[in-house]
Amino acid sequence: MKIFCDFDNTLAKTNEAIVKCVNEKFHLGCKEEDISDWGYRSLYSGMTEADIENFFESDTFWNNVRLYTGALDVLKGHEVHLCTVGTSKNLAKKRAFAESNGFIPAFVNSDYGYHPSDKKMFDLSGAIQIGD
């Protein structure tokens, strides 16, 4: 079975890792339950898009991101395309993750002005898409 699987908050618990980054940078005590928006400004009102981009590229993020329990077991034995959006630096780290787990990268690079809706560039016919 051909599967296109999103990474952020679908395969991996990225909100959990972002909270760690936010708390470390701004010396806060936020919890994942405090997130009520996609821009994470509910954690810290002074958050900028550059802050968020830097978090997703950071070693703190990648050292703390965890997969959902059983995710790899469910996908095992299938042709899995890791379909995700990110900056060049973020995608380089996602590529290492994808390749180490036998996934095929299907990346949309936001450095070139692409957005999550641009995932439509991939041919999903005959495949299952798993996203948030």
H helices, E strands: number in the chain: 5, 4
pLDDT tens readout for residues 104-131: 988 888 888 777 777 878 888 899 999 8
Report strand pairing: 104-109 vs 79-86: parallel
Q: What is the residue type of 75?
A: L
pLDDT at res. 73:
93
Mean pLDDT of the chain: 91
pLDDT at res. 27:
97
pLDDT tens readout for residues 61-107: 999 999 999 999 999 999 999 998 999 999 999 999 889 888 998 88
Q: Long-range contact list for 65-72, CB < 8 A, 24+ apart?
A: 65/12, 65/13, 65/14, 65/16, 65/17, 66/12, 66/13, 66/16, 66/17, 67/11, 67/12, 67/13, 68/11, 68/12, 68/13, 71/11, 71/12, 72/101
pLDDT at res. 96:
92
Cα 120 to Cα 13, 84, 87, 115, distances in angstroms: 24, 11, 18, 10
Mean per-residue pLDDT, 17-22: 97
Q: Which of 115, 116, 117, 84 is nearest to 98 (CA)?
A: 84
